[in-house]
Amino acid sequence: MTASATHRAIDAVFRIDSAKLIAGLARIVRDVGLAEELAQDALVAALERWPEAGIPENPGAWLMATAKHRAIDLVRRSKRIERKHEEIGHAIEADRHAAVPDLEAAIDEDVGDDLLRLVFTACHPVLSTEARVALTLRLLGGLTTEEIARAFLVPEPTVAQRIVRAKRTLAEAKVPFEVPRGEALGARLSSVLQVIYLVFNEGYSATAGDDWMRPALCEDALRLGRILAELLPKEPEVHGLVALMEIQASRARARVGPKGEPILLLDQNRARWDHLLIRRGLTALARAEALGGALGPYTLQAAIAACHARARTAEETDWKRIAALYTALADLTNSPVVDLNRAVAFSMAFGPAAGLVLVDALVSEPSLASYHLLPSVRGDLLAKLGRDAEARVEFERAASLTRNTRERALLLERAATCKGASVRTD
């Protein structure tokens, strides 16, 4: 294997295993920023050794072992330094040694789900909501600051500053690495749900790179969502989020063609949908609805996904119900992205002209200025109205905005199918 190929393999392994690596280390060193540094040290060691020695049979385990040894050395060195300070009493030392009698054993002991601890630690109230989400996406999903910025539609330097400040704040506040209990749990739940869904979305539709999907992120988000549902059985929005992710994940095999090209929802072979995941999703949706009260944003989105899941063909989709659900969601969230999805639903329920009116109202929305799906949707509606020249411009603009190679190719293909002149006027 060439050095460049080895480096690509190392990057792929780190993407997959970094969250588990950081979570396991954070339990030992009690500092998420330090845990990330140790994980990065392990990555540097891999970059130095693997090109010559070859990729280990279990690269994730190699990274973990390397990082563990560095963590152990760090903790033992820290203890030696601490013992030099007279102010540390014997009682504190005795308690510490009783709590962690064997560092090697402590790293490997069964203490539950470290990833879940990592999410709740990163979502601690000492951080702003934006910082909580950005930090968790960075630590849990291994996303770059650029990818996180695109998810939030904010400048990349803003995200980078949030992450640096968040890690510093957690360290200074000595935030415990644990799942909160009681009222503290409820206070942080909304942020945790947002984080998990954004991680899922990055896996479901990658913002950058050569792959249309990153399934490992979807799997991590789904696993965390299911764990939350067991921990919080009476929280409807937890079940709503799980329902939404289960149903969306059911389409994974049908969303990608033989060559890795994306296949849009209405063009998918529904026989390839995973009906076990659909059933799980519908069951979770029923649990959310049975708990009563007004439907929250995740449960509303799950209800929309369920409309697609229940339709045996694209033609049987209940678009009027979907449009009504999107209207309720838009009223609840006041989100331009939701408004864009609502416009798509209206176009399917009441015709492309009705949808285009709603889309045109969003053209001047600042937060959507670089959002590639706005010109993509507008191009689709213009093409349906026979305004091909305008549609081609929109598809080309959308292609220039996306960072995903597969999506760019699809948009350019759509642009190429548009004729050079409009075939009708309105």
Mean pLDDT by 10 residues, the chain (426 residues): 69 74 83 84 83 80 83 73 48 42 43 73 87 84 79 84 94 86 79 86 68 70 87 92 97 86 89 96 98 94 97 96 97 95 97 97 94 96 96 96 88 86 36
Instruction: State the sign of the Cα–Cα–Cα–Cα dihedral 399, 403, 408, 409.
Output: positive
**Which pLDDT score, from 0 to 100, does residue 353 have?**
97
**Which pLDDT score, from 0 to 100, does residue 81 have?**
58
Q: Is 36 exposed, middle or buried (0-12, 13-18, 19+ CB in 10 A)?
A: buried
Residue 58 identity? N
Q: Residue 280 has which token pair?
A: 């799980």
Residue 213's nearest CA partner among 225, 201, 195 is: 201
Neighbours of 57 (CB within 10 A): 7
Where, residue-wise, is CATH 1.10.10 in the chain?
114-199
Instruction: State the sign of the Cα–Cα–Cα–Cα dihedral 375, 377, 380, 382.
Output: negative
Which region, left, alpha or beta, applies to residue 351 given φ > 0 means left and ψ of -120 to 50 means alpha?
Answer: left
**Which pLDDT score, from 0 to 100, does residue 162 have?**
95
Residue 223's nearest CA partner among 109, 119, 307 is: 119
Residue 2 identity? T
Cα dihedral: 43, 46, 48, 49 (round 10) = 170
Distance CA 93, CA 99 (A): 10
Distances (CA, A) of 342 to 263, 324, 327, 331: 21, 9, 7, 11
Q: Which CATH class is domain 114-199?
A: mainly alpha
**Which pLDDT score, from 0 to 100, does residue 329 have?**
97
Distance CA 268, CA 262 (A): 10
Distance CA 239, CA 299 (A): 8
DSSP bridge partners of 262: 256
**Which pLDDT score, from 0 to 100, does residue 227 have?**
85
DSSP, collapsed to helix, strand or coil, labels residue 178 as coil
Neighbours of 49 (CB within 10 A): 14
DSSP category for residue 153? T
